């Protein structure tokens, strides 16, 4: 009895760790008869996940288990060591109780090592700090001038792992041009180079969208969900203020912020359009030369991409980037799949082949051509980027 509790918790965690859903959504979708009990077990176990993983590793528990998965073992360990005790009988209870002393002593050793008396003190509340990324705005300065200015100010350029950068040091990002990496505690908000628009705070993940779209100089580009304009000014920098940028956003307040930001960044090739992108008329003559579109919506629940791409039957769009700051498959690969289904005249192009963290492969769809970012793996915020190319365009 109550074996179903652990099995349901295992299902929830598997959904979450394979990026299929969020904790809340998969708890909600679970059919387990006592949702409160399930939620409590899942949430409590997640709090201790890091140390439970350590115990799993040290005791090599999974090597001795038949039919107990990694995720299931986490819940059993939580309940046995920290929670209410194992809440079921049968195989699972036996699995744990026959290893009682080994587990208890591994847990005791860990507490001594970490110098904690209470279980609560084992909870990892601190997320690892991400490095601070600043993009050099080539519309107001050059990369060389920026390096000289920073060095003059006591910063030294280093060539080390992004996690090891100290205060007053910076490195050049190996993937994205004109991106500098600083220690997480660096604060340049009061610095002249930030105030005059030469340095723009922009996480590496967020720089990937414009970098991947990579519009050639003189092209016409739509940034469909543009405010507050970080990617817009990045696009303008890549195009060196040539061609034409349409920065669209439906939120008036955010558009106002964008106006200021674009001015500060010396963006000169941009027309701001305060509108729902879906309501734009794709046959409007002013969009006829549009070749590239960047879609960076706050939430893809609206299925915005599929319809965006459909709209493009009437324009000349060749390259479309879809990016999100979500790690969930339903907002990423699932959206890409349905966009491709509805728009067979677009195909996926491989984004940054050397990037190892790829999109989740889906049957019949090459979603591994997309890329993902993960705080733990890539030292950036969570992110997803897909690049679509019109079939008629050669790569």
Ligand X SMILES: C[S@@+](CC[C@H](N)C(=O)[O-])C[C@H]1O[C@@H](n2cnc3c(N)ncnc32)[C@H](O)[C@@H]1O
Binding to ligand X in span 301-340, by CB under 6 A: 304
Task: Report the SS3 class of residue 360.
Answer: coil
Q: Indicate the residue whose CB is closest to ligand X.
A: 225
Q: Which of 204, 231, 337, 369 binds ligand X (CB under 6 A)?
A: 231
Query: Would you count residue 297 as binding ligand X (CB under 6 A)?
Result: yes
| CB of residue 317 to ligand X, shortest distance in Å | 16
Is residue 246 a contact residue for ligand X (CB under 6 A)? Answer: no
> x/- contact string, 150-189, with ligand X (CB under 6 A)?
----------------------------------------
> 276 a known binding residue?
yes
Q: Is 175 annotated as a binding residue?
A: no
Could you say which of 228, 243, 359, 382 contacts ligand X (CB under 6 A)? Answer: 228
Tell whether 227 is in a known binding site: yes
Rg of the chain over CA atoms, in angstroms?
A: 25
Is residue 211 involved in binding ligand X (CB under 6 A)? Answer: no
Distance (Å, rounded) from C-alpha 333 to C-alpha 345? 18
Residues 6-35 that bind ligand X (CB under 6 A): none
Smallest distance from ligand X to CB 76, Å: 39
207 has binding-site annotation:
no
Nearest to ligand X of 72, 227 (CB atom):
227
Residues near ligand X (CB under 6 A): 206, 225-231, 248-251, 254, 276-278, 296-298, 304
Q: Could you list the residues known to form a binding site for S-adenosyl-L-methionine, using ranges.
A: 225-231, 249, 276, 296
């Amino acid at each position: 009895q109550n074996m179903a509790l652990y099995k349901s918790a295992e299902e929830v965690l598997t959904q979450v760790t394979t990026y299929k859903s969020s904790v809340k959504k998969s708890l909600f979708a679970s059919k387990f008869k006592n949702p409160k009990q399930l939620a409590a077990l899942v949430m409590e176990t997640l709090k201790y996940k890091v140390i439970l993983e350590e115990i799993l590793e040290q005791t090599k528990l999974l090597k001795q288990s038949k039919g107990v998965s990694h995720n299931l073992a986490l819940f059993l360990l939580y309940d046995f060591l920290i929670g209410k005790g194992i809440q079921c009988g049968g195989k699972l209870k036996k699995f744990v109780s026959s290893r009682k002393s080994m587990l208890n002593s591994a847990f005791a050793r860990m507490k001594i090592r970490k110098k904690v008396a209470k279980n609560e003190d084992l909870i990892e509340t601190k997320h690892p700090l991400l490095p601070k990324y600043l993009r050099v705005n080539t519309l107001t300065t050059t990369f060389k001038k920026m390096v000289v200015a920073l060095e003059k100010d006591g910063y030294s350029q280093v060539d080390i792992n992004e996690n090891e950068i100290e205060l007053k040091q910076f490195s050049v990002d190996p993937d994205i041009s004109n991106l500098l990496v600083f220690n997480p505690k660096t604060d340049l908000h009061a610095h002249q180079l930030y105030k005059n628009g030469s340095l723009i705070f922009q996480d590496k993940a967020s720089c990937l969208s414009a970098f991947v779209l990579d519009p050639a100089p003189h092209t016409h580009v739509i940034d469909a969900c543009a405010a507050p304009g970080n990617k817009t000014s990045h696009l303008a920098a890549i195009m060196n203020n040539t061609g034409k940028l349409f920065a669209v956003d439906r939120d008036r307040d955010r558009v106002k912020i964008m106006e200021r930001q674009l001015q500060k960044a010396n963006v000169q090739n941009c027309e701001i359009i305060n509108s729902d992108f879906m309501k734009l008329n794709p046959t409007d003559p002013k969009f006829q030369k549009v070749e590239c579109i960047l879609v960076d919506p706050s939430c893809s629940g609206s299925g915005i991409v599929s319809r965006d791409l459909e709209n493009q039957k009437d324009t000349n769009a060749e390259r479309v980037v879809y990016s999100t700051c979500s790690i969930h498959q339903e907002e990423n690969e699932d959206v890409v799949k349905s966009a491709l289904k509805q728009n067979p005249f677009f195909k996926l192009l491989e984004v940054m082949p050397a990037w190892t963290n790829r999109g989740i492969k889906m049957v019949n769809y090459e979603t591994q051509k997309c890329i993902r970012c993960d705080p733990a793996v890539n030292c950036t915020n969570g992110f997803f980027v897909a690049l679509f190319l019109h079939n008629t365009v050669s790569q």
